[in-house]
Structure 1
Amino acid sequence: RMERTDGGEPVEVLGDIEIVDDFVAAFNEAPPDLLVTSGRTNEERWMLGYLFDGGRVVVGEAGDLRGRLLDGTEVPIRNPGPMAMLGAGSCLLGFIPGSEVLPLAFIHDAGARQIVGYASTTWHGAGGWDVYRRFLDEPGRGTLSEAAWLAQQELIRRFAAEYPGVPEVSTEGFDEREVFEFQLAVAEATGVDRREDRFEDLAGLLWDRDAIVLLGDPAWPVRLKTSPLPWTSVITREGDRLLIDLEVHAELVDGPTPIVVLPERIVPGKVVEGEGLGVVSTPDIVFLPGLRTRPPGTSFRVELDAPLERGPVRAVEIDVETRRRVLEQVAPAWRPRLRTVFADAGGNETELLRAIREVTPSRRDSMAFLIANMPPADRRIMTADALLENVELAHDSFDASPWRVGVPESVFQEAVLPYAHINERRDDWRADFVSRFRAAAHAAGTQADAVRRLNRLVYETFDVTYDANKRLKNEQSPYQSIDQHCASCTGLSILLANACRAAGIPARIAGIPEWPTGDNHTWVEVYDPIDGRWHWIEALGGGAYDEGWWVGKVRGLAAEDSNEARYRIWAASWSRPAGVPNRFPLWWLGSDEDPIPGIDRTTDYAGAGD
């Protein structure tokens, strides 16, 4: 604290200077969800205290995370996570020149799954502190990664607004500590003297624009619990006009520039109403810098000429005749659905058409099924090569399976053919898994033995264990789990189900979205043609069919036949029936995300074991 006596100069009064010991104890005993840092930092150490040295967080000789006391003693820092970090004012927290650096130590030893920080030194701080204000002062409005992206967009807008006509200078060619050299280059390129007051912002905005980075998975939804916001907006549309109704609830002058994130990309046009708010529109967002000076309790409308962007320009324009010839190659029942998919695919239609055209003719119906039931997001990203490899290998493995006889075609299509289960990231896993697991599975005496063998082999092969705390997300893709060497029950189940599919064994994931007491659970269902039934198996459980620690609990809950979808038992499906399909109500899915088709299995589990 600062004290002043009899009008004299302020004097800093310190208590216990050494604070790192308290930090380490608190961090290890009560791991945080979010760690915000400032102060003196580089890629190897973080000094606790700005005007004094209260101890340091460092990278130890073994590359692990440690707290270093003032006497040189080091104590380990361990946190299972997951947590996020925001280096709002910390230099070099996002800089990774080698393997033994602070950000990697926080990832490995402290459970950090997302880090926003500087990949350089910083003297300006506009970027990091804007991320801080957007995320913490507007709780629940967006995720941490969204706040980081918006802060960078605001740096670009500010430079254009405050220095019109001034040439931009890139940080390319300057290393992470060459601040002075960069400032000289800015002064030379712009003609602005370094001694002018406006020079600091001029150079600082350009430096921070290029220095803020996000480490980790940007899709991991780090979000604060929603609280009353200082301003709110409602977006509506009337033809090509975009209407944004705004309400101010608190003082905004010290907060971040309000930015409205648009639900659909637009072609920015003129401002019809609301020019006084300093509106700047882009295809994705609308800046409202003038809203910061408006008092609480006021409301405004912004009206823009903003027709919707019509999607990416196709690399190859598809003529009607080409589409017609491809559709003639598939069964008539698929054609209406495929036309809808093609219309939604934008520039990726060429890939989907090529996949149908080039697939082995006897397997074309499978390709039509796969594409016709694609989730909307996949229609725009899945390549022909990926789809062709997936279909051909799925058929090859199934045709070679000793247990294929008696498996209905519909079961093959739903539980062997698909390349994904729910909303996990799309990985090209099948060829790798076929080479690793198919022969071992087919050497088993029965399908049940093959599944048990895979339930051990897949996790031993990739050294993946259960850890619901350190894993990045619930719905991890195969290689996300493999790269982290851990997963929750959902990620483990996806690994096992994919190993089964690679061997031509029909498998799908199933589970209960939520126990009445909280949490959820996911397992694998395998179709066995011997009795024509779906059997469940616990991923990484080591047991046989229809065993698991949760069986009695699920059976009792299923017998209650709850009207709430989250308390019912579901299996994931690939096909999307007409109308409103059943939705597998995964708790992490937002209402605006692609629904996961689901099969209600509650009745089957209620009678299991009878």
Structure 2
Amino acid sequence: MKYASLCLLLSLAPLAVADDYAIVFSKATLDEEGWNEVIETLQEKHGGALVMYADRLDEAKSELQQQHPRFTCFVARPEEATKEFVAAVHQLTRQYDDDPYTDTRWGILTGYDAANALEIAKTSKPLTIHKVAAGTEVALEMCEEGRCFDELVQGKLVVKEQGGEAELTKGPADSTKALVDTLNDYQPDLFVTSGHATERNWQIGFRYRNGYFKSHAGEMIGQDTAGDVHEVDSPNVKVYMPIGNCLMGHIDGPDAMALAWMHDAGVRQMIGYTVPTWFGYAGWGCLDYFVEQPGRYTFSEAFLANQIALLHKLETTDQDRRGLEYDRDTLAFYGDPAWQAKMAPGDCAYDQELKVDGDTYTLTLTPRRGAKSFEPINMNGSERGWRPMVAFLPNRIGEVEIVEGEELKPVVTDDFILVPNPRTVEEGREYKVVFRAKRVE
């Protein structure tokens, strides 16, 4: 779309209702060649409202508060998508209403250049994650199939074939080429990493000598301990979770790792810390909601659920406050937040069912693993497990009346219900919350 016609769209765009999608961008981004097409593509795909600001992101606050969109996509050129911008997005998206929680499913859509961002914006087909690959231990029993190397144990490789069990095998001592081959040939739908990293590289081994992944000008390579270079050529659409890596989400220039993942490795959505990570709740917890509750949440929802869990902990206890506050605004989510990437459905440790009958909402939690139903699935990493149950409502609601289940200490906002993890399973007990609320149109 030409600049003039997009300006016309801006002038005619109606205010969105609660269930809609907002596209937020700066005047400078609109003026930059190619980026207006990114905005146009999102607008055509989602029918979203357009929100432009001149200089500062908080200029968009009033309009976003009025619209209160279910999804908010911040289109930003890479030079705009700084760690300060990520923090500002976190803070802004908690201010659509008066509660302390994030009020929208948000994402920052950027790319190495406008063409890369446009490719991400054009991606519409939902992704079902069948194949998982990782440089760290993940709960492969919750995945259809996968390959997990280990940054803590040299030569460790766990493989699960579709329909089989996860098996411990022997991998190479230097796993650089094997990881590149996994991306290029196995073509996973989800890639997970942890360990030391900077904006320019990922150190594959954490406790032992191994190679590196390195980025430059939007391109990614693996360089092994012998100095040999292995090119990453992995164009299949995928999601990336650097759950424990420092700085992988910090875009500090054109050589940033995040941009290379998007440009050279088919990544359509990713999270990433914009700072050195030491606490880990914001990053590692995304595994608890996404990989370990297969099929329950989209990746965007899993990220949001974990942010809600973090904020709930800040609201209800002083435990770990320093770490939680450090993590609160430092994990980026890149990509179109409405694009759907989900794990292939699997058997969760507990069922979670939300029923709506007029103005009555019923959330039922049914244990499926006996006494272990509410316990952590996997403890690799930091600040793992014991996450609250989070269910997103199909619509926004107004004032809430709890009818049943108040002893579970539920938190009900305008668009989600949270139930603190009961931790223990009491035989014969029904874990149910019933509440009444009027729908907000």
TM-score (norm 2): 0.56
Q: Any residues of structure 2 matched to 1:545-564 within 5 Å, and which?
A: none
Gaps in structure 1 of 5+ consecutive residues? 1-11, 164-197, 312-610
Tell me the secondary structure at the aligned position of residue 128 of structure 1.
Answer: helix
Cα RMSD (Å) of the superposition? 2.1
Quote the Cα distance in structure 1 between the aligned partners of 2:184 and 2:350. Answer: 37
Q: How far did residue 239 of structure 1 move?
A: 5.2
Matches within 5 A, 1:395-414: none
Residue 95 (structure 2) aligns with: none
Partner secondary structure for residue 92 of structure 1: coil
1:204 to 315, 323, 339: 323
Determine helix, strand or coil for the equivalent of 1:100: coil
The 8 Å contact of residues 18 and 69 in structure 1, kept in 2 or not, is answered as yes
Tell me which of 258, 278, 285 is aligned to 1:103.
Answer: 258
Percent identical among aligned pairs is: 32
Contact 2:182 2:188 in 1 (8 A): no
- Measured in 2, the distance between the counterparts of 1:105 and 1:13 equals 27
Q: Aligned to 1:294, what secondary structure does the other structure show? A: coil
Amino acid at match of 2:261: F
Aligned to 2:420: 289
Report the counterpart of residue 242 of structure 2 in structure 1: 87
Question: For residues 80 and 239 of structure 1, what CA distance do their matches in structure 2 show?
Answer: 46
Give the superposition deviation at 1:53. 2.7
Q: How far off its partner does 1:303 sit?
A: 1.7
Q: How many residues align?
A: 262
Mapped to 1, the partners of 2:189 and 2:153 lie a distance apart of 32
| Alpha-carbon contact 2:374-2:421 (below 8 Å) kept | no
Q: How many Å apart are 1:59 and its aligned residue?
A: 1.2
Larger Rg belongs to: 1
**More helix per residue:** 1
Alignment counterpart, residue 212 of structure 2, candidates 46, 53, 56: 56
Deviation at 1:26, TM superposition (A): 2.4
Distance 1:296 1:97, change over 3 A: farther
Q: What do the CA deviations read for 1:207-265 (whole angstroms, capped 9, x no partner)? A: 21101111122222111111122222333445544322332223113243111111121
**Corresponding position of 2:337:** 218
For 2:222 and 2:436, the matched residues in 1 are separated by 56
Give the C-alpha shift of residue 298 in structure 1.
4.7
> 1:248 touches 1:298 (CA, 8 Å); kept in 2?
no
Q: For 1:306, what is the secondary structure of its paired residue?
A: strand
- Per-residue CA distance 1:314-334 (angstroms, 9 max, x = gap): xxxxxxxxxxxxxxxxxxxxx
| Counterpart Cα distance in 2 of 1:124 and 1:286 | 26
Partner of 1:234: 353
Q: Per-residue displacement from partner, 1:568-591 (whole Å, max 9, x unpaired)?
A: xxxxxxxxxxxxxxxxxxxxxxxx
* Helix, strand or coil at the partner of 1:75: strand
Alignment of 1:186-585 (within 5 A): 198=319, 201-237=320-356, 240-250=359-369, 251-254=373-376, 255=385, 256-295=387-426, 298-309=429-440, 311=441
2:180 aligned to which of 21, 24, 32: 24
Partner Cα separation in structure 1 for residue 425 and residue 438 of structure 2: 28
Read off the aligned partner of 1:34 and give its amino acid letter.
Answer: L
Q: Which runs of 5+ in 2 are unaligned?
A: 1-151, 156-171, 377-384
Q: Aligned letter for 2:200?
A: E
TM-superposed deviation, 1:14: 4.9
Mark the CA change 1:225 to 1:295 in structure 2 (over 3 Å): closer, same or farther. Answer: farther
How big is each residue's C-alpha offset from its partner over 1:4-35, in whole Å with a ceiling of 9 and x where there is no partner?
A: xxxxxxxx985554221221122222111100
Corresponding position of 2:302:
147
1:247, 1:297 within 8 Å by CA — same for their partners in 2? no
Paired AA for residue 145 in structure 1: S
Conservation of the 8 A alpha-carbon contact between 1:276 and 1:290: no
For 1:44 and 1:279, how far apart are their aligned partners in 2? 43
Instruction: Decide whether the 8 Å contact of 1:243 with 1:301 is kept in 2.
Output: yes
Distance 1:295-1:253 versus aligned 2 partners, 3 A rule: farther
Match of residue 195 from structure 2: 39
Q: Distance in 2 between matches of 1:240 and 1:29?
A: 51
Identify the structure with bigger relative contact order (alpha carbons < 8 Å, sequence gap 6+).
Answer: 2
Distance in 2 separating the partners of 1:40 and 1:13:
15
Task: Report the AA paired with residue 253 of structure 1.
Answer: E
Larger fraction in strand = 2
CA distance in 1, matches of 2:350, 2:426: 11
